[in-house]
A and B are shown apart, each in its own frame.
Chain A
Amino acid sequence: MDSHTVAAQTAITPHDEHAHPPFLRHHFENVAQQREAATFGMWLFLLTEIMFFGGMFCAYLIYRNWYYPAFVAGSHTLHIWAGTLNTALLIVSSFTMAMAVYSAETRKRKPLLRWMVITMILGTGFLCVKAYEWHDEWVEHHVPGLNFSPEQFMTGTKAYPDDKLPLDMAEKTQVYFSLYFAMTGMHALHMIIGVSLLMFLFVKAYGGAYTEGHVAPIENFGLYWHFVDIVWIFLYPLLYLISRHQ
């Protein structure tokens, strides 16, 4: 039986709880040490994720310096309302996830379940807005390698009539869109994994696994969720707000 299975069957273990909570694994001295070790391990994983996204941010940094006008023109085609709404959705979802951790810590099962459901809904809402945006890029011929057309970037748009680039710089907007799809795509994949994990944790939480003192899984999932939020917090200004005043 792993700690999850044991934790989900809180009624059957005939131990004296002061001597040995059912979810304490035997290679840990006490619950506090187990919790600290789990959090430490989760942070190590998150650091690898920082390096992973960091590589793409570095590529963005270099290409933006080399092809700045192309990046400006590309960024102008994004819907700022969609990016801002998505940022707000994720920030609120981080709040609701923090409240879920609080409910687990204070051993309140129904509030925990409610906060988890709201977090799932907000995360799914984010993904829906993203899907709409990606569909829009497809319709507008902004997908490099599939149906990209540089014409729009040589003639300017209604909103930004000065976005007229020579052909070679117009072609470079493909670099911007490649990075846009790679970065928001990788972020969206992390969101999908997050929402799926949350559904799995919800089932366990429903059985009372996380409101008897075993808060580590909810806490550490919270760390993952907040991390994915932070990645978006940086993606938003870099992709959507390059220079809206021009």
Chain B
Amino acid sequence: MVRLVSAVGRVFLSLFEYLGELVLLAADTFHSIFTRRLRWRLFLHQIVEIGLLSQLVVVITGGFTGAVFAAQTYFQFNKLGIGSGVGAVVSVSLCRELGPVLTALMVTGRVGASMSAEIGTMKVTEQIDALRALAVYPVDYLVVPRTLAMMVSMPLLVAECIAFGIGASYFIAVHVLEISGTYYMSNMVRWTGMRDITMGLTKGFCFAILIVFISCHKGLTAREGAVGVGKATTEAVVNSSLAVLIFNFFLTMFLNIIFPAGYQ
């Protein structure tokens, strides 16, 4: 019994230690953002890496999710004679949930993994020690540009995912499932408000912060050569994905108070 309690205690202690390290990294990064000069070249490079090069993944994810969601909704709604409600359901769902969450998961897989692998490799090959030895603080050089680039890119990627999702769902609903385009648009505009878009973009911004700190932290604490980097990368993706899904619930509950769902 004592051993069990001790084991559970150890798990909780390591969890709190991990969360504490994340908070300290975040505090250090935001302190740097407000007090140190920004390395514009690195920031723009990260914008390209995170924002520009994620376009295809996000467009395909958004497009096919919108298309399949439109089809599934139509199959159910059509039986009830409300097939033209597809547009409203798809757009609200994409704005409030699917857009931000799916974009976050795709960015975690593409960008989070790359961040932790790159920083982890720098750690195990002493390049981070070299930065420190050359009087360059690794958080300023590595984490700040990535954080800012993520905070700028993610809401835009979420918007793109939502737009392509709605576009694809319109195409499937109107041209394949033969719903009236006018009713589709009318219902979508009627039921989707600025509050839904704002909620999606806010979630994207919050997820960006989660992904970047979890991934950079895993990279900065990587150990034991190639195996350590591989482990750090896997953990970065798993932890970021779980954090996005868990945090999404609490964020939804909180943001729904500010941006209540439904026709106002």
Tell whether A and B belong to one assembly. Answer: no
Residues of chain B whose beta carbon lies under 8 Å from any beta carbon of chain A: none
Residues of chain A whose beta carbon lies under 8 Å from any beta carbon of chain B: none
